[in-house]
Amino acid sequence: MDILDKIVIDKRKEVDLRKNLIPTSQLEQSVLFNRETISLAKKLKNSNSGIIAEHKRRSPSKSVINNSLNVQDVATGYENAGVCGMSVLTDGKYFGGALDDLLLARASCNLPLLRKEFIIDDYQILEAKAHGADVILLIAAILNKAEIKQFSEFAKSLHLDVLLEVHNEKELQKSVMPSLDMLGVNNRNLKTFEVSLETSKSLSSLIPNDFVKVSESGISSTTAIKELQPYGYKGFLIGENFMKTDNPGVSATEFIKGLL
């Protein structure tokens, strides 16, 4: 059983628990539920840098990355740096995140916010909307085609953008459908945790041009981005590279300067 299987088993228990605590009607009455969302896909299309910067305290592959920063400072720093969007990890057990992080980020910046989560239930999409997200992540490795369709169409009905993440050609083939905005290629092999940009390169020609192409994981230099841009990538998700420093906003500023 790989790490993703373990996460999904825990996630199902967690979502069942939360459903019992907070009814959907309560989520729909949230102050943020009716706010107008900001499209990350549109921002990426019109950007020179395409950086989606992440707030991530730890991960299963790297343990602690940074526990000392508060989300507000990170969000403000990223916005000042000129990133296109911010990814906020909300998984508690494996990544040290929380839905409250999303609320704090929303209160601190006007960036499009991605709820980075292992989505296995419509309920989590309602949560994302109620906590100020503009975009949700769907992971093809943990969902079948019918689930991808159901969740992406539900997200679109709430005016949320959808980023679908794939790791290989098989996942890509089952996933392409009109209710997606962005297709993300994760360069990390989930079984070995090894990272290779070749994954993004080899899958790029298989992604239809209707979707904004995003490359994820292992992007730690401007060289990597310049290498991927000719393959049609407009978005680059960067987490650890900024978060492992004392000031992610300053790191992102320097990084973007090096790109332009």
Write out the catalytic residue numbers: 54, 56, 116, 165, 186, 216-217
| Whole-Å CA distances, 24 to 27, 44, 123, 176 | 5, 31, 7, 29
Q: Are 121 and 142 in contact (CB under 8 A)?
A: no
Separation CA 78–CA 149 (nearest Å): 32
What number of residues does the chain have? 260
Q: Are 232 and 250 in contact (CB under 8 A)?
A: no
Q: Which residues of 36-69 are buried (b: 16+ CB within 10 A; e: fewer)?
A: ebebbbebbeeeebbbbbbbbbbbeeeeebbeeb
CB-CB neighbours of 4 under 10 Å: 16
Q: Are 159 and 59 in contact (CB under 8 A)?
A: no
CB-CB neighbours of 217 under 10 Å: 24
Note the Cα 18 to chain centre separation in Å. Answer: 21
- At a CB cut-off of 8 Å and minimum separation 6, what does 115 contact? 88, 90, 102, 124, 127, 128, 131, 133, 135, 136, 137
- At a CB cut-off of 8 Å and minimum separation 6, what does 86 contact? 52, 53, 54, 55, 75, 78, 79, 105, 109, 111, 112, 113, 114
CB-CB neighbours of 137 under 10 Å: 22
